[in-house]
Amino acid sequence: GAGVSQTPSNKVTEKGKYVELRCDPISGHTALYWYRQSLGQGPEFLIYFQGTGAADDSGLPNDRFFAVRPEGSVSTLKIQRTERGDSAVYLCASSLGNSGEQYFGPGTRLTVT
Amino acid sequence: AQRVTQPEKLLSVFKGAPVELKCNYSYSGSPELFWYVQYSRQRLQLLLRHISRESIKGFTADLNKGETSFHLKKPFAQEEDSAMYYCALTQGGSEKLVFGKGTKLTVNP
């Protein structure tokens, strides 16, 4: 079946602009995660949803970052007033929850110029 | 705070040689440990997790709580093992993965 998908695959934006990154999890997966991977680093946790609610948003770096999952399926990561330091690959993963295996998407490469 | 350390950024071996990718962690509780792998132009995927005690693609990893290590081993490396390897953990009660910085393994012919 289809895996986790993310759109767009690449996004170039100017400093100060607003961006939205989309994640489509595997059908039936109740848990959804966002990670950010900077060059030369491992993925860093941002936020985790169980169903529609954010169960853990402790990894969001500041209030410019926000994520939603209104119907418990697709999720959108929103970044306001982008900064050059936000440039990274944003990864989404989903799982059946309860410590199930996390399946990763291909990522969105965000470049802020 | 929990931390995962992979001391080798790059590791290069010849085909047929043994390989060991090191991973140390710092966490006071009982974490669950994982190895994830990313082959060229592919997405990140789970290789193995310590609770399953499986051998995947010839790789094994033993959790050593005394040394807080979870090294990944394979007795005879293959060229197709060339990839980026990440060690990760989850802390008790949390679903989030904490990753190391990764080790790039190159297996030369």
Interface mutation vs chain B, best among A4, A34, A95, A102, most B CBs within 10 Å: A102
Residue B101: list chain A partners with CB under 8 A: 40-42
Contacts of B54 (CB under 8 A, 6+ apart): B48
pLDDT score of B36 more than 80: yes
Token pair belonging to B94:
């949390």
**Which DSSP category does B56 fall into?**
B
Q: Is residue A48 a contact partner of residue A97, using CB atoms and an 8 Å limit?
A: no
DSSP state of B64: B
Q: Is B102 in CB contact (< 8 Å) with chain A? A: yes
Partner residue opposite B99 with nearest CB, options A42, A97, A107 = A42
Question: Encoding tokens for residue B40?
Answer: 């060229």
Q: Does B26 touch chain A (CB under 8 A)?
A: no
pLDDT in tens, A17-71: 999 999 999 999 999 999 999 999 999 999 999 999 988 999 999 999 999 999 9
The pLDDT value given to residue B50:
85
Touching check for A105 and chain B: CB below 8 Å?
yes
Minimum-distance CB partner of B43 among A33, A58, A104: A104
Per-residue pLDDT, A113: 97
DSSP single-letter state for residue B67: T
| Partner A contacted by B43 (CB < 8 A) | yes
- Per-residue tokens: A82: 């982008």
For residues B42-50, average pLDDT: 93
Question: Which residue, chain included where needed, has tokens 């989850």?
Answer: B90
Quick check: B101 and A40 CB within 8 A? yes
A8: preceding bond cis by omega (within 30 degrees): yes
CA atoms within 13 A on the CB side of A94: 22
The separation between the first and the last C-alpha atoms of chain A, rounded to the nearest angstrom, is 37
Name the residue with higher pLDDT: B62 or A38: A38
Q: How confident is the model at residue A98 (pLDDT cuts 50, 70, 90)?
A: low
**Chain A nearest C-alpha distance from B102 (Å):** 6
State the nearest Cα–Cα gap between B29 and chain A, in angstroms: 16
